[in-house]
């Protein structure tokens, strides 16, 4: 229930937060739901900004940061950031659209994940940290 089906490649990008879907509108009858598609610009270990700044999500991106692309199979055009996509269903009782609240939460989570940087970099950096910490007075030091 309340699922969105995606092609394998699109799902891979989705689970790795390479793109996000911003919920825009839904109808009262529960049949159409419109979202805005956004490629997530990936931060690098060198990117830094104050926590009070609002990150930008450029509307002109037409591919993932490492060159991944998605296409509209009807128009055969690349899907670009800022493009609106509408999900249509015939029976909202038997095949409901995703819950609005879950889409909003996913929209927030994907933006946070995109600001963290590439998954591979994060995992490698995390593996480099020692697993135990030893108390050394007011400061903590890594136990080697």
**pLDDT at residue 127 above 70?**
no
C-alpha to C-alpha distance for 96 and 109, rounded to whole angstroms: 22
For residues 32 and 24, the answer to whether their CB atoms sit within 8 Å is no
CA nearest neighbour of 23 among 142, 109, 105, 132:
105
Structure tokens at 42: 């990936």
Mean per-residue pLDDT for 84-93?
Answer: 86
* Residue 86, helix vs strand vs coil: strand
Residue with tokens 């991944």: 68
Residue with tokens 């940061």: 65
Mean per-residue pLDDT for 88-108?
Answer: 87
The pLDDT tens digits for 13-52 are: 888 888 899 999 988 887 888 999 998 876 655 566 666 7
Residue with tokens 């309340």: 2
C-alpha to C-alpha distance for 81 and 20, rounded to whole angstroms: 9
CA distances in angstroms from 120 to 65, 125, 141, listed in the order given: 13, 9, 26
pLDDT at residue 12, as a whole number: 87
| pTM listed for this prediction | 0.71
The pLDDT tens digits for 7-20 are: 888 888 888 888 89
Mean per-residue pLDDT for 86-92?
Answer: 85
Neighbours of 107 (CB within 10 A): 16
When the pLDDT of each residue in the chain is averaged and rounded to a whole number, the result is 76
C-alpha to C-alpha distance for 64 and 1, rounded to whole angstroms: 29
Higher pLDDT, 5 or 138: 5
């Amino acid at each position: 229930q309340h699922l969105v089906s995606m092609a394998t490649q699109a799902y891979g990008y989705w689970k790795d937060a390479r793109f996000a879907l911003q919920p825009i509108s839904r109808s009262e009858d529960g049949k159409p739901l419109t979202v805005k598609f956004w490629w997530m610009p990936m931060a690098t270990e060198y990117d830094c900004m104050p926590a009070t700044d609002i990150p930008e999500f450029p509307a002109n991106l037409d591919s993932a940061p490492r060159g991944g692309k998605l296409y509209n199979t009807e128009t055969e055009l690349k899907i670009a950031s800022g493009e609106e996509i509408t999900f249509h269903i015939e029976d909202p009782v038997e095949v409901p659209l995703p819950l609005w609240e879950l889409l909003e939460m996913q929209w927030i989570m994907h933006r946070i994940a995109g600001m963290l940087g590439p998954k591979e970099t994060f995992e490698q950096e995390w593996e480099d940290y020692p697993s135990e910490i030893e108390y050394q007075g007011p400061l903590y030091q890594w136990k080697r």
